Amino acid sequence: MKPAPFSYYRTRSVPETVARLAELGDGAKILAGGQSLVPMMNFRLARPDALVDVTRIPGLEYLRAGPDGLRIGALTRHRTVELCRDPVVLDGFGLLPRAARWIGHYPIRARGTFGGSIAHADPAAEWCLLAVLLEANVVLAGPAGARTVPVSDFFEGFYTTTAEPDEMITELHFPRAARHAALTEFAQRQGDFAVVAAAVSVDLGVAGPPRPGAACRSVRVVLGGVGPLPFVVDTGALGGQPAAAATWRAAGELAAAQIDPPADGHGGPAYRRRLAATLVERALTEAAAAP
């Protein structure tokens, strides 16, 4: 299929983009990587009146690690994150390059952008899950200037966010490192949308894999594919438990008990609960073993 008719604009700076969005109103959409928006337009699931192409704006593709955490520019390609070998990034945020391999196929990773994925707000998308897991902040530019929104307040539901029509994402800020963290998911075919995805982190209080008899200070688990938003599991009961296989298995069962997933062509609620339990256990095993 072909998209419905639309107007096309290309901007070369953030202020120009914001002004153009304000001029065009609610019917305009930003085109960054286009890996989600364009297919939806082709199927006429999305019918914007205008596209504002921001791919030529300089200075929005970067990964910068520093004392205040990690900052990722909105136009940073998935593949750029995947290939990052900066030791400072890998030391505290190695989860991000490892998780990038789960994103679609190579052409999607080569073209799609970090900010575009966050703006699309797919509750099963890898970057959305990790933004929630790591409690990221979304930096937006609008007519009134820049503002920062905690990601917990940014996502509203399926493909909806609190961003105003005349705002654009310029940066994601991850304030805290997570050395023991992992993401895993299940799809019926490689590159397909995840049926269920699990992103986890565990605070072991030490660097390196857990020593025999060690306890985990806290566990954080976020699930995708089980509702309209990334689902944060209540893991308070796991604090102080041994950093061992039995705890990771208990975490999986705890996650499965808290969700009410939908039924669709990929499976029903019971199937998704069992997937969630398995994936959480698997992800925590991987996270705890991270160097």
Q: Tell me, what's the pLDDT at 218?
A: 94
Residues 128 and 204 in one domain: no
40 and 67 belong to one structural domain: no
- Segment 212-235, tens digit of pLDDT: 778 899 999 999 999 999 999 999
> Which is more confidently placed, 58 or 266?
58
253 within domain boundaries? yes
Collapsing DSSP states into helix, strand and coil, what is residue 152? helix
Residues 47, 68: one domain? Answer: no
- In this prediction, residue 205 carries a pLDDT of 78
* CA angle, 132 then 13 then 56, to 5°: 85
| Residue 279: its H or E element | helix 269-289
Any domain includes 58: no
212 and 163 fall within a common domain? no
Average pLDDT over residues 82-90: 95
Inter-residue contact 73 to 60 (CB < 8 Å)? yes
Partners of 10 in the β-ladder: 53
Tell me whether residue 1 is in a domain. no
Cα separation, 156 vs 255, in Å, equals 21
102-160 per-position pLDDT tens digit = 999 889 999 999 999 999 999 999 999 999 999 999 999 999 999 999 999 999 999 99
Query: Is pLDDT larger for residue 66 or for residue 290?
Result: 66
CB-CB neighbours of 222 under 10 Å: 24
Q: Do 49 and 128 sit in the same domain of this protein?
A: no
Query: Residues, the chain, total?
Result: 291
Residues 92 and 142 in one domain: yes
Inside any domain, residue 96: yes
CA of 54: how far to CAs of 104, 203, 281, in Å? 22, 39, 40
Is the predicted pLDDT of residue 84 greater than 70, yes or no?
A: yes
Q: Tell me the backbone φ, ψ of residue 72, rounded to 5 degrees.
A: -125, 125
Each residue's pLDDT tens digit, 163-214: 999 999 999 999 999 999 999 999 988 878 899 999 999 998 776 677 777 8
Please tell me the least confidently modeled range out of 7-16, 26-35, 79-88, 210-219. Answer: 210-219
The CATH code of the domain that includes 36 is 3.30.43.10
The set of residues, in sequence order, having a beta carbon less than 8 Å from that of 50 and lying 6+ positions away, is: 6, 7, 8, 9, 24, 27, 28, 29
Q: Which of 106, 141, 174 is the last residue of a domain?
A: 174
pLDDT for residue 59 = 97
In a domain, residue 2? The reply is: no
Domain of 226: which CATH number?
A: 3.30.390.50
Nearest to 73 by CA among 115, 112, 32, 110: 115
Report the chain's mean pLDDT, rounded to a whole number: 95
Domain that holds residue 168: 63-174
Amino acid in position 213 = G
Whether 241 and 222 map to the same domain: the answer is yes
Tally the domains of the chain.
3
* C-alpha closest to that of 233 among 281, 187, 190, 269: 281
Same domain, 242 and 154: no
Task: Give the domain CATH number at 120.
Answer: 3.30.465.10
pLDDT at 252 over 80: yes
